[in-house]
Amino acid sequence: MPELPEMETYKSLLQPIIGGQSITEVMINREKSINVPIEEFASLVLHQKINVIERRAKYLVFHLQNGSCLLLHLMLGGRMFYGKEEDRPDRTVQVQLSFGNHHLYFIGLRLGYLHLLSPEMIQQEFQHIGPEPLDQSFSLHTFQTIIKDKRGGLKTTLLNQEVIAGIGNRYSDEILWHAQLLPERKTNELDTDELARLYESMQYILQKGIQQGGYMEEPLFKGDGKTGDYEMYVHSREGENCRRCHSLIVMKEISSRKTYFCQDCQH
């Protein structure tokens, strides 16, 4: 599932390409991927300029000229591709927005969606989402204040979108490995130094993920040289040597999620 770094990468790459451009055609191949009848969706989206693209948690919001918004959540297996018809990946396209002879393809939206909403409805969607971990206002003190009353495990807490926005299964493993903390440690057991280390690791891993274009290998467009350069330290590396202490990385299911960590250098 795309997480904060992947969605931030999509946003930063798409904004200069389609920002200010008008949607010239709308194609819906899977009506369940949208939230209103196809005719209504097309009538409100067609010929609209995309003013700006915003990211919130794991969502993208496309703000249209008429004040409407398109809310995208890719969920598990979703991705996008921008290009000409001849460059389109050989995958089923659920939704297509065209900009002349170039198209933005939404692929793998079996669970994901592109909903047409008002700004007020967008705010309702986001009202229970926690703070953005890379915002300037998200200080160590803010983080400590949020965490101090939590009683769950670290992995489960990082995954909770109502606590902190945008972190999913992969980057929670990466953050905890970098902070040298075991995923089942309880948040209320951490001392001041461990909380500071966790905060710094969160900042470091997410920023690195963005700088390296996230982990998803599929390019956004032909010639895309940024997407997918992030290489996992620990996630999906069961049986490989830890890069820090060279012990074997193990996998354990925590809250029904495959969780990867080093038993020797994570404490």
Catalytic residue among 3, 6, 8, 174: 3
Sequence-ordered strand ranges (E) for 76-155: 79-83, 93-99, 102-107, 113-117
Pairing of strands 93-99, 25-28: antiparallel
Find the length of the chain.
267
Catalytic residue among 226, 244, 257, 258: 257
User: Exactly one of 55, 58, 170, 185 is catalytic; which is it?
Assistant: 58
Choosing from 2, 5, 133, 219, which is the catalytic residue? 2
- Among this protein's residues, is 219 annotated catalytic? no
Is 58 an annotated catalytic residue? Answer: yes
110 is catalytic: no
Closest by alpha carbon to 59, among 118, 120, 132?
132
Integer Cα distance of 130 and 138 in angstroms: 11
Angstrom distances, CA of residue 69 to CA of 46, 102, 130: 13, 21, 21
Q: Could you confirm whether 2 is annotated as catalytic?
A: yes
**Dihedral sign, Cα of residue 177, residue 181, residue 186, residue 188:** negative
What amino acid positions are annotated as catalytic residues? 2-3, 58, 257
